[in-house]
Amino acid sequence: MSSRYQQGLGQDASSLSGPVRQRSKQACLPCRRRKRKCDGNLPCNICKGYGYDCEFDNGAQSANLKRPVPSDGSPQPGGKVTRLTYPQEHPKQPTESPFFPGILEPSKARYVGRYSSIAFPLYVGLEVQATKIPRLHSFAYHTGIRKEPPCAVTCEAAQKIPWNTARSLIEVYTATVHPVFGFLDMDQLYVRCEKHWHGQPQDLVFEAMMSGVIAMASLFSGTLDQDTEMWFILHAKEILEDCVISRFPSLEQIAAWTLRTIYMRCTARPHVTWLSSCTVMHLVEAAGLHHASEFVMQTTGNAAPSPEMFNIVNRVARVATSLHILIAFEYGRSIITLNGQILENLHPTTGAKDLTFQLCSLVAAVPTNLSGDALPMMQELFSSLDMITSVTVDHDFLLLLRADLALGIYRRLRVMDSKFQQGHNDRVIAAGTAALPAARRLASQNRPWWNVIGTVFQFACALLVMDTPTSCERLVETMDTLEMIVDHLNTHLAKEALSTARQLVRASLDKKRRGVESLEHIVRDASPDSTVSDTNDHLPQDTAAMSPSLTSQLPLDLDSLWAMEFQLPL
């Protein structure tokens, strides 16, 4: 995928960027002083990119403001730096950024902020108009007294399993995982895998990504034994953590780490899973996928990628971010937010229902920055609950995921001692109830998504805490579902969850019994003369002083009494 990325970046931009840029009749004063090509806008792209104060002669300014904004990127100052422009499905005017633009080195897919010490020598070279501008490099980053270790891994996956087995596992992944986490070009993956197994080895990063696909497919199909499946996971880990390979972040590296994180969420502990998702987010930043394109400059003059490649880039960033938010939100850890635009502008594909779009729509409703006053936080949580439960999903895993997010908001509101309205409780119960048959189906199909049992267990806990007639009714089906899934899985973690849920139900029952016993004790110990033996004992003896209308209705009907109009003497 990285090779296509580079090819896409090298395509002709004229077919992607609209009309050809017109040559400006008048350059701004900074561009004229520095002998740069100016686009004639105010501010122009050169001044906006380098932080110059853009200004025109009085006569030239009004003329230039009438020119249309060019649709291509910034010109190359000194033939070295240009602005990266991705094609937009819905073109819009670039917004002003409060930050300086970053720099992307496409050959290494490495992004740094403009204020970075690594970028500063390059800008100094531009400022002093050096003949040879310094490259984007970590000059003097350390003393250099030790050599870097060589790469310690080799391509071995093709020798581990035959091509027929690998091909069947790719088909399993395409049918089970890819519909929900659709961030890979499966057609290209299949072609490259076939070459990899037939004497045309691909690079190590591709092997790490491919190993993640095989491991996930084995997890969902049971094709490989656990030792072989674990070999692919550890092989991918060894590749991804090698210092020679990790120094060059790429789309394939982000994809491989995302696959590793999904596998860990299904099989590993919360802390290490969260750490893996954080690594994915840092790689998204390192590859420069977290910034809007109008605020990124390149160190070479490559054009924008093709629309197909842009879609892959977009989906890799959004799936990686969504996965991290899901893991951190559920675990109660910090959420790394690189840019608010990460979860925007992912448009559904045409044709079949785009489940990846539904996944990102669910996560987009999750509040990622809960800080400040309690009242605005609660209002944001209630609003998020309404949005999440109103998202329509068409996959059993997404039904469970929607319930997970609703339960996560419910837990946060309970910690804040929020007063729930009946409608909000009903939304949580409805989301959890819809997830129960989905969990039963996934368990019977041997689809071990991480929330097959977790959602049902958390829903049972929430129903016990709600303690309403509706929640008690739903608890019966929830516990039956949990028992069915545990019987099917027959694992230690599943049995442990069922045992804990039963303990909580018994504790709730004991609490209710103690309350009933206290009430029975009060009634049993009450003296006979203090009990109400007759409904008329408390009425006045002199009924003649009462209104005739009241006398005719004895014994009193309380409902009629409240509806009565009394005429009081003046």
Residue 231 lies in a domain: yes
* Residue 321 and residue 180 share a domain: yes
Q: CB–CB of 409/365 below 8 Å?
A: no
* Residue 106 and residue 245 share a domain: yes
Residue 350 lies in a domain: no
Q: Across the chain, what does the average pLDDT equal?
A: 78
pLDDT 10s digits, 210-262: 999 999 999 999 999 999 999 999 999 999 999 999 888 889 999 999 999 99
- What DSSP state is assigned to residue 96? P
Hey, what amino acid is at 114? R
Residue 470 lies in a domain: yes
Q: CB–CB of 325/259 below 8 Å?
A: no
Least confident of 159-173, 223-237, 297-311, 338-352: 338-352
* Residue 290 and residue 214 share a domain: yes
Instruction: Find the Cα–Cα–Cα–Cα dihedral 222, 394, 328, 428, rounded to 10°.
Output: -120
In whole angstroms, give the CA distance from residue 324 to residue 69.
37
Q: What is the domain range of residue 107?
A: 1-15+76-88+96-139+158-334
Half-sphere exposure of 401 (CA within 13 A, CB side): 29
In whole angstroms, give the CA distance from residue 562 to residue 550.
12
Which H/E stretch holds residue 274? Answer: helix 270-286
| Total structural domains within the chain | 3
* Residue 54 and residue 131 share a domain: no
| Percent of the chain residues topping a pLDDT of 70 | 70
Q: How far is CA 1 from the centre of its chain?
A: 22
pLDDT 10s digits, 135-147: 878 888 888 898 8
pLDDT 10s digits, 278-288: 999 999 988 88
State the pLDDT at residue 434. 97
Residues 6+ apart with CB under 8 A from 359: 180, 181, 319, 322, 398, 401
Residue 316 lies in a domain: yes
Radius of gyration of the chain (CA): 33
* Residue 26 and residue 2 share a domain: no
pLDDT 10s digits, 345-387: 566 665 567 899 999 999 999 988 777 677 888 888 999 999 9
Residue 475 lies in a domain: yes
In whole angstroms, give the CA distance from residue 308 to residue 73.
19
Residue 59 lies in a domain: yes
Residue 339 lies in a domain: no
* Residue 299 and residue 233 share a domain: yes
Burial of 305 (0-12, 13-18, 19+ CB in 10 A): buried
The answer on pLDDT for 516 being more than 80 is yes
State the pLDDT at residue 373. 78
pTM of the model: 0.73
